[in-house]
Amino acid sequence: MVLWEVRSYPEALRHERERILAKTDLQDRYGRLWQFKATRRERALYKLGELAPADAVPVRLSTPAAPRRPALTAAPVRKPSSRRRRAARQAVAPPDVEDLMPLGRQIAADHEARGVTLTRDRLRDAIRQTGQSVSTDRAGALLARLRSEPGPTAETSEREAA
């Protein structure tokens, strides 16, 4: 009653009822660890006692009713789990690497001539040394495309040399 600055016992009971219902709403929405999963705004409103559940049944009091508090209507904002983030990354179309194919072929041939296995990181670093920027994902897509492509035959290398 002191914290809510309420002098009426029935009104204090109503406030306590709303607080318990708000806590139950947060637990239903976010689970047992609702204190860590709820949004900062919802936690602050709960601490301030200004968060009331949307379906709270008002208690009839003989004293004038206090103004309604904001209802819990916002959808829970949850960070996606690492599994969901991974699935979302895989669902995204692979980056377009068509513009990097000539440079990728040149780097692959250079590594093959030196007898070094071409990896995504080596390909990425070699592309960056030429002054072009490339993401790790794009370098991986380029490497996959280079590996899936048939190697140069003697005829095509003779044509390119001529």
Residue 146 CA to residue 135 CA, distance in Å, equals: 16
List of residues 6+ apart from 6 with CB closer than 8 A: 12, 15
Residue 37 CA to residue 14 CA, distance in Å, equals: 27
Instruction: Give, for all 162 residues of the chain, the pLDDT tens digit.
Output: 776 678 888 888 888 888 888 888 888 888 888 888 888 888 888 877 776 655 544 444 344 455 555 555 555 556 666 666 666 666 555 567 888 899 999 999 999 999 999 999 999 999 989 888 888 888 988 999 899 887 654 444 444 555
Report which DSSP code applies to 99. Answer: G
Residue 148 CA to residue 157 CA, distance in Å, equals: 18
Q: What pLDDT does residue 122 have?
A: 92
Query: Under a CB-based contact definition with an 8 Å cutoff, are residues 72 and 54 in contact?
Result: yes
> How many residues belong to the chain?
162
